[in-house]
Structure 1
């Protein structure tokens, strides 16, 4: 892909994006990797991702895996960025600090075929692990090597993806890589008991609630058969257009224009009931997704969150902390305060979290 040859180039690019350039030490080189992985049914497919390497003299590099937040437009994935932007800035930050930064696009985004299975923990995990493997296979061409240790982080949707990858690494699913630390930011770790209630009761930003509820129903219907026809859960006229909006070819601006401004204008009574009282396959799938914090990490864990996040209810982080505590793990919760990025504390937490996490990771030597 592209190069930012000097740390001054990196600092200027991060400053222009609104990210902290204070840890920039090296210029970077960025590459798009296309690699083999599996889809949610376990069938072979391909995915893409962003690899960013520091222009340093280090041969063996420590690796940071960064999992990005929600995207539905395939060109909003990290490896599709022609210049440094909100989605790619964290990987640039980590690489400029001296790490090999690996950022999977997930399935169906970037150059990956098919539709994106949003918030599907299994495929997020396999796509992330296989991206690490692809990066390890690629870097010798650049005269470098990846060490064993992986520092895992992710934002929003990527917070759950990060936890899934961390579990996989700790379980020894790859013989080379080993987990060193975990630092997710602003995750929706408990959809059933924290995120969905907040989306429905008006606690969160109304437009964001519409988009997340719509994405959830459409994406999970493809995976778990939530409804037979969109007319069951979506009101007219959106019942005739909503599924096409989440086909990977529509931009965020088109999603905003093609959806209502309130959840009441989006959902039918059955739609509300489906989200308030999940049953059957949907309930079973939520149990899997919402168990993401129910494990026992043997490495340092920090959970990062902004106050009064308008998109990811803070109860998610509270529930994750409690789940880890129930497994004997005292995770540190880091209060990011009230960061702002283009009027959003949620997006601001990605900026503030990246700045905090790169410094923490750099201390873990």
Structure 2
């Protein structure tokens, strides 16, 4: 751990409930007040070189000295501040608070290049999401004794959207013994794009993903993947004018989601050149290499702990076939993992975002039941 900063205290369940409601989340399971801290810690970058990252640690005000740990991995953001340790009463921080208010030590890694971390965010880069998440747990374990607490070995792992894949990868790492202390206790990803290359990209190109969301995910994928696994030399190869001159700069960590909305077209066809579209339809080279990483989180392993996959009917962003494929791959390895359909949940007109709200409530309750059993 490099540094720790106390951000705020929600001294009562009522204060927690108000915070959660402001973010759009249900507040009925808040049983404790909480304290929130930003941790900055050492980790490694995408090339294995030393760097730092940040994250949110929220502890319950429940008097318990030994606390179960919950790791929540957040969904996609473009600005560095779209991360748990940088926002209050927000979509990215509320799930961390909800788990802590139910009695756990809850951690929310910001990921590389987000929060207080230097550099660009390597979006959907599974290896660095895994190391950033695991090293955040280690930092939390190092910090907890300063508050008179210790973290138990078993970690319950969850995450939403981009974070659903990160959660599966962290769970796999914990189960394989990546840390000598922590071990996997339960796993509950929510609405992930687990088969990004085989399911999500075709859905984007076929118009089965909501149009503007499809544009943003397509642009982010091409820009972020090309940074780590180069497959184009000039943006004009894949992006139509005038976006070829502007899209890469939008994903610099300093532009807001609103700026991305204004700076991109309304459809994928307006964004992509014929070559760009053909590349996404038949990935090759560096793009295929990047997709092998994103699409491996459910393959060739089987969780040996209680596991559920949560999804929302009619998800307009992470199409539900992703969850079906993940369940099939886990079944192939001998894991019988149930899918929990959250129904036609809604947040601001989005079933995908609604899955974070409904899924968090469901996972908080399930994790608490497991801790009591």
TM-score, reference length from structure 1: 0.99
CA deviation string 1:198-239 (max 9, x = no partner): 011000100000000000000000000021100000000000
Q: How many residues are paired up?
A: 364
Alpha-carbon distance between aligned partners in 1 of 2:225 and 2:24, rounded to the nearest angstrom:
33
CA deviation string 1:96-155 (max 9, x = no partner): 000000000000000100000000000000000000000000010011110101000000
1:108 matched to which residue of 2?
113
Question: Alpha-carbon deviation of 1:283?
Answer: 1.2
What SS does the corresponding residue of 2:264 show, helix, strand or coil? Answer: coil
2:11 matched to which residue of 1?
5
Q: Does 1:77 align with 2:83?
A: yes
Alpha-carbon distance between aligned partners in 1 of 2:273 and 2:75, rounded to the nearest angstrom:
28
What SS does the corresponding residue of 1:339 show, helix, strand or coil? Answer: coil
Question: Alpha-carbon deviation of 1:92?
Answer: 0.5
Q: Which runs of 4+ in 1 moved over 4 A?
A: none
CA deviation string 1:157-180 (max 9, x = no partner): 000000010011001111110100
1:339 matched to which residue of 2?
345
1:168-187 alignment runs, 5 A limit: 168-187=173-192
1:299 matched to which residue of 2?
305
Q: Does 1:359 align with 2:365?
A: yes
1:62 matched to which residue of 2?
68
Relative to structure 2, which stretch is displaced further, 262-271 or 280-289?
A: 280-289
1:129 matched to which residue of 2?
134
Alpha-carbon distance between aligned partners in 2 of 1:4 and 1:312, rounded to the nearest angstrom:
33
Relative to structure 2, which stretch is displaced further, 102-111 or 10-19?
A: 10-19
Alpha-carbon distance between aligned partners in 2 of 1:139 and 1:323, rounded to the nearest angstrom:
37
2:143 matched to which residue of 1?
138
1:199 matched to which residue of 2?
204
Q: Does 1:315 align with 2:324?
A: no
1:118 matched to which residue of 2?
123
The counterpart of 2:31, out of the listed 22, 25, 30, is 25
What SS does the corresponding residue of 1:249 show, helix, strand or coil? Answer: coil
What SS does the corresponding residue of 1:76 show, helix, strand or coil? Answer: coil
The counterpart of 2:241, out of the listed 225, 232, 236, is 236
Alpha-carbon distance between aligned partners in 2 of 1:48 and 1:33, rounded to the nearest angstrom:
5
2:288 matched to which residue of 1?
283
CA contact (8 A) 2:226 2:286 kept: no
Alpha-carbon distance between aligned partners in 1 of 2:78 and 2:231, rounded to the nearest angstrom:
19
Alpha-carbon distance between aligned partners in 2 of 1:96 and 1:361, rounded to the nearest angstrom:
12
Q: Does 1:40 align with 2:46?
A: yes
Q: Alpha carbon RMSD of aligned pairs, Å?
A: 0.7
Alpha-carbon distance between aligned partners in 1 of 2:137 and 2:311, rounded to the nearest angstrom:
26
Alpha-carbon distance between aligned partners in 1 of 2:236 and 2:335, rounded to the nearest angstrom:
45
Alpha-carbon distance between aligned partners in 2 of 1:264 and 1:288, rounded to the nearest angstrom:
26
1:93 matched to which residue of 2?
98
2:330 matched to which residue of 1?
324
What SS does the corresponding residue of 1:180 show, helix, strand or coil? Answer: strand
Unpaired runs of 5+ in structure 2? 1-6
Alpha-carbon distance between aligned partners in 1 of 2:292 and 2:20, rounded to the nearest angstrom:
38
Relative to structure 2, which stretch is displaced further, 333-342 or 273-282?
A: 273-282
Question: Alpha-carbon deviation of 1:18?
Answer: 1.4
